[in-house]
Amino acid sequence: MSGTPVPVPLNADCSSFDMEALKAAITPKTRVLIVNSPSNPTGGVMPAEDLDAIAQICKSNPKLWVFSDEIYARLVYDGSGCAPSYMKSAEAAGVLDRCVMFDGASKTFCMTGWRLGWAVMPEALAARIHLLMVHAIGCSANFTQVAGTAALEGPQDTVEAMIAEYKIRRDYVVERLNAMPGVVCPSPAGAFYAFPDVSAVGIPCEELATGILNEAGVAVLPGTDFGKQGAGHIRISYVRSMDVLKEGLDRIETYIKSLAGGAGKL
């Protein structure tokens, strides 16, 4: 079996799908809708009403499943402590039996290299996944499971402190980016990525990202690495320290300003 991915454009601030475009993209052949909120690469957080709308789309299409990647759910900056979950919307709409939610320890607890994650799904599907996982990887290492349990059940003050620090870094990065010529950056509500619109700089985002790497020594990703809908954007992570972020943004700003003198740029 095979499938054909169908990209759906986001709204202007990159927080959610363009809901009309999403509805138009659903056909009788559509089998899976993938939701990622808070999002990589945009940092957008889908509002509960949009998740409710997706649940209603699922309800109207009895063969449609929703895969909800909620790995960044705890990394939100509005003080709520957690992003809205699609599972709540699916339960209210009566379509929880066609929902799979993915989460893990990588982002909330900075355990990326430990490769510890989990999924919540209908029992019948879980039995099939269990059969696959047992024969594919066996299980996560014992010490990894112990560490993950300690992270989940232990004090959460370090997580809260990390989120508060990320918020400071986000605000700094967004302010700096918006001060650069040709750059417009909405403030992400979650995760730890900025996804500025750099189309006014005047060169393709792939070329810009390569120039920033080779000439400024800073690694960013072109938006098109995440699909054609990301054209005109770059992704910047703000997990590094403020000193590193300041130096990196100084270099990016210097490089972008140097393009202003080039023909046809800015």
In this prediction, residue 13 carries a pLDDT of 87
Q: Domain end: 138, 153, 168, which one?
A: 153
CA-to-CA distance for 224 and 205, rounded, in angstroms?
A: 8
For residue 166, the domain's CATH number is: 3.90.1150.10
- Domain match, 86 and 116 both: yes
Record the tokens describing residue 171, joined without a space: 């605000």
Residue 265 has pLDDT above 70, yes or no: no
CB contact set of 223 (below 8 Å; sequence gap of 6+): 41, 195, 205, 229, 230, 231, 232, 233, 234, 235
Are 10 and 44 spatial neighbours (Cβ–Cβ below 8 Å)?
Answer: yes
pLDDT digits (tens, 9 = 90+) for 187-219: 999 999 999 999 999 999 999 999 999 999 999
pLDDT digits (tens, 9 = 90+) for 225-239: 999 999 999 999 999
pLDDT digits (tens, 9 = 90+) for 94-143: 999 999 999 999 999 999 999 999 999 999 999 999 999 999 988 889 99
Q: Domain end: 126, 153, 180, which one?
A: 153
Are 205 and 222 spatial neighbours (Cβ–Cβ below 8 Å)?
Answer: yes
Termini Cα distance of the chain: 47
pTM: 0.92
Cis check for the bond before 196: say yes or no (omega within 30 of 0).
Answer: no
- Domain match, 146 and 165 both: no
Read off the amino acid at residue 136.
A
In this prediction, residue 173 carries a pLDDT of 98
CA-to-CA distance for 235 and 23, rounded, in angstroms?
A: 27
Q: Domain end: 113, 128, 153, which one?
A: 153
Evaluate whether residue 8 is within a structural domain: no
pLDDT digits (tens, 9 = 90+) for 141-163: 999 999 999 999 999 999 999 99
User: What are the CA-CA distances from residue 160 to residues 49, 82, 102, 191, 247 (Å)?
Assistant: 26, 11, 22, 13, 26
Number of structural domains the chain divides into: 2
Average of per-residue pLDDT across 13-20: 92
pLDDT digits (tens, 9 = 90+) for 29-41: 999 999 999 999 9
3-state secondary structure of 9: coil
Average of per-residue pLDDT values in the chain: 95
Q: Which domain holds residue 84?
A: 19-153
- Domain match, 30 and 126 both: yes
Residue 257 has pLDDT above 60, yes or no: yes
- Domain match, 224 and 239 both: yes
